[in-house]
């Protein structure tokens, strides 16, 4: 197991479970590299067989060209390479964020990078630690430098031989969270365990050992949500006003704990939603292995549509192993997830004299808070009222081309934020579902090294979540805590609009919008001219507008009194 060290922050990567089988003699012959392949080619999986981990190119040959009963391609390597998991270390926002935190506390530079690496580029990090090398990965001298021997493992993000080697020994404990996963730390050439949900017969196992150096081991622990929790319950210390590292921990993201507090913990795992099963049976390898069910597709569908678009637009610069077409397919899956399985709107509108009253209900479909995980994410209601002549009477929650929300206090002033509303009467009031972080002085911050508590957390709650009974780590903060209709399963908001001087009937259009990078988080590096990763990030984003995703929409016509 990795050595313990100062823990500061991580923009956590969702860990995977998966399925495995061996390769047979029909597998195309290929050399097995024992030294790094420097300069990994764009559009190709990295190749490297290390003492503790192998890159995805060592596994991909046997886990491609797979189809389910419907004839759909369910190839494991094809789906995975276009996922956010595969691109966890390529993510330019992640890299800019790490550099930003290091610049603020350079004396803790290695410790910061260590904490950020344990879940974003775990194979390179763990290899460096086990060999007594520096955990630094920023490209100055670290393993993001293409000349570094660990570059292929670093580039490979959250990959096959990380997830499939994690043991279930400490699952569900505080020790396991924040990157506290366990795996075999002895070299064991040719005998490293690779856990999967299906048993593999000895003949196939022998071929897999010969082809990859890994021994397939059947274990149900790979189907548990606690596998994801090792990086998706994340606690971080912060720096006090005296410049000391706190002993208290800040719950930076806790989707697994939120899921445990929901009714979904009895009916569906993380993998159920984020790794949807193939239709019917499917082989898990292209080498004559038997068909299995369920084959959990390695799509790892989340909500970061914007990052997938950014990766697809810059494949060569970011050295992606997926093609733009594959990333485009992942983007489509993400949009489907957001629009079909996340939330839906309902409501009614009625006219009472010169006042239009609109009741909006937001129903949550997720098994954890929405928005989820990293605190840059936000969702909000965009409501527009037009009269019979098409004139705009009222609009709350419009957005600008730069990704900011019209009327949002936080986008106008980094020191302020929008409260949670039960009733909205003004155009500069916007219902935004988001976390707002406070530093030790109670001031708004987006610096994780200073994140002490939540000033606001009115993210939508999953069904079964009782906000009066949960621990402080997953509690509701701000005005939503006392809002009686802000409950597990959704929220209700009332809009009261003065219509004097306009012509009835009135039409109301409502949208629930979502961004994976709120304006203040996206712009936080803009002044950091000494942050090369930030300059790179803005080279990409300045060409790609931060437009929100439409989660749900609703059109109403106001009824007469």
User: Confidence band (pLDDT; 50, 70, 90) for 30?
Assistant: very low
Q: What is the mean pLDDT of the chain?
A: 92
Q: For 312-353, what is each residue's pLDDT tens digit?
A: 999 999 999 999 999 999 999 999 999 999 999 999 999 999
- Residue whose token pair is 């509108």: 349
> How many H-runs (helices) and E-runs (strands) does the chain carry?
16, 18
How confident is the model over 476-490, as a mean pLDDT?
A: 99
Q: How far apart are CA 98 and CA 116, in angstroms?
A: 7
Predicted pLDDT at 9: 37
Backbone angles phi, psi at 435, to 5 degrees: -95, 140
Predicted pLDDT at 8: 38
Predicted pLDDT at 39: 54
- Report the candidate in 295, 401, 289, 317 with the shortest Cα–Cα distance to residue 74: 295
* 497, containing H or E segment: strand 490-498
Predicted pLDDT at 40: 85
Between helices 92-104 and 532-541, what is the axis angle to 10°?
A: 150
Predicted pLDDT at 357: 98
Give the three-state DSSP class for 372. coil
Question: In the chain, what percentage of residues exceed pLDDT 90?
Answer: 88
* Interacting residues of 409 by C-beta distance below 8 A, sequence separation 6+: 416, 417, 418
Predicted pLDDT at 33: 37
Q: How far apart are CA 466 and CA 487, in angstroms?
A: 7
Burial (CB < 10 A; 0-12, 13-18, 19+), residue 336, is: exposed
pLDDT for 141 beyond 90:
no
pTM (predicted TM-score): 0.93
* 161, containing H or E segment: helix 160-163
Question: In the chain, what percentage of residues exceed pLDDT 70?
Answer: 93
Between the alpha carbon of residue 401 and those of residues 116, 290, 378, 431, 510, the distances in Å are 31, 51, 16, 19, 19
pLDDT for 25 beyond 90:
no
Q: For 524-540, what is each residue's pLDDT tens digit?
A: 999 999 999 999 999 99
373 φψ region: left (φ > 0), alpha (ψ -120 to 50), beta (else): left
∠ Cα 141 147 150 (to 5°): 80
pLDDT for 502 beyond 50:
yes
Q: For 179-237, what is each residue's pLDDT tens digit?
A: 999 999 999 888 999 999 999 999 888 888 888 899 999 999 999 999 999 999 999 99
Predicted pLDDT at 140: 85
Q: For 80-139, what is each residue's pLDDT tens digit?
A: 999 999 999 999 999 999 999 999 999 999 999 999 999 999 999 999 999 999 999 999
pLDDT for 288 beyond 50:
yes
pLDDT for 31 beyond 50:
no
Better pLDDT: 209 or 543: 543
pLDDT for 255 beyond 70:
yes
Predicted pLDDT at 37: 42
Whether residue 465 contacts residue 255, with contact meaning beta carbons closer than 8 Å, is answered with: no
Predicted pLDDT at 204: 85
Q: 490-498 and 355-364 as β-strands: parallel, antiparallel, unpaired?
A: antiparallel
Better pLDDT: 190 or 178: 178
């Amino acid at each position: 197991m990795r050595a313990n060290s100062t823990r500061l922050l991580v923009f956590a990567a969702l860990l995977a479970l998966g399925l495995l089988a061996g390769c047979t003699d029909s597998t195309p012959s290929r050399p097995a590299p024992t030294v790094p392949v420097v300069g990994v080619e764009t559009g190709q999986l990295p190749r490297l067989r290390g003492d503790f981990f192998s890159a995805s190119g060592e596994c991909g040959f046997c886990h491609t060209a797979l189809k389910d009963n419907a004839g759909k391609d369910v190839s494991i390597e094809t789906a995975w390479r276009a996922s956010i998991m595969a691109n966890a270390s390529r993510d330019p926002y992640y890299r800019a964020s790490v550099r930003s935190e290091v610049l603020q506390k350079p004396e803790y530079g290695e410790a910061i990078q260590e904490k950020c690496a344990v879940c974003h580029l775990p194979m390179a990090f763990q290899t460096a630690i086990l060999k007594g090398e520096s955990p630094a990965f920023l490209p100055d001298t670290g393993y993001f430098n293409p000349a570094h021997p660990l570059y292929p493992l670093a580039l490979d993000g959250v990959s096959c031989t990380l997830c499939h080697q994690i043991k279930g020994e400490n699952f569900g404990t505080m020790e396991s969270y924040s990157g506290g996963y366990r795996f075999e730390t002895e070299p064991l050439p040719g005998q490293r365990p690779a856990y999967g949900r299906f048993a593999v017969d000895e003949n196939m196992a022998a071929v897999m050992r010969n082809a990859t150096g890994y021994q397939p081991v059947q274990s149900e622990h790979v189907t548990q949500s606690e596998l994801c929790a090792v990086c998706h319950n994340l606690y971080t210390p912060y720096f006090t006003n005296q410049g000391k590292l706190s002993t208290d921990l800040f719950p930076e993201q806790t989707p697994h704990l939120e899921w445990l507090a929901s009714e979904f913990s009895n009916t569906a795992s993380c993998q159920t939603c984020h790794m949807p099963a193939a239709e019917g049976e499917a082989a898990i390898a292209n080498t004559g292995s038997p068909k299995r069910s369920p084959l959990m597709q390695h799509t790892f569908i989340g909500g970061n549509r914007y990052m997938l678009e950014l990766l697809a637009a810059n494949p060569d610069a970011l050295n992606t192993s997926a093609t733009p077409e594959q990333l485009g397919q992942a983007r489509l899956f993400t949009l489907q997830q957001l629009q079909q399985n996340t939330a839906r709107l309902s409501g009614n509108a009625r006219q009472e004299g010169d006042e239009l009253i609109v009741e909006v209900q937001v129903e949550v479909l997720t098994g954890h808070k929405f928005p989820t995980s990293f605190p840059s994410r936000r969702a909000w209601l965009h409501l527009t009222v037009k009269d019979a002549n098409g004139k705009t009477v009222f609009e709350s929650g419009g957005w600008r081309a730069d990704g900011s929300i019209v009327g949002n206090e936080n986008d106008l002033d980094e020191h302020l934020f929008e409260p949670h509303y039960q009733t909205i009467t003004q155009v500069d009031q916007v219902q935004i579902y988001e976390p707002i972080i406070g530093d030790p002085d109670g001031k708004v911050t987006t610096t994780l090294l200073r994140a002490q508590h939540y000033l606001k957390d009115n993210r939508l709650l999953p069904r079964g979540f009782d906000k009066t009974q949960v621990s402080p780590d997953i509690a509701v903060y701000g005005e939503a805590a006392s809002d009686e209709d802000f409950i597990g399963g959704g929220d209700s908001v009332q809009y009261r609009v003065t219509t004097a001087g306009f012509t009835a009937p009135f039409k109301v259009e409502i949208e629930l919008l979502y961004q994976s990078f709120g304006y203040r988080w996206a712009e936080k590096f803009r002044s950091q001219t000494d942050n090369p990763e930030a300059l790179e990030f803005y080279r990409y984003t300045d060409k790609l507008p931060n437009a929100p995703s439409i989660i749900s929409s609703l059109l109403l016509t106001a009824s007469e009194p």
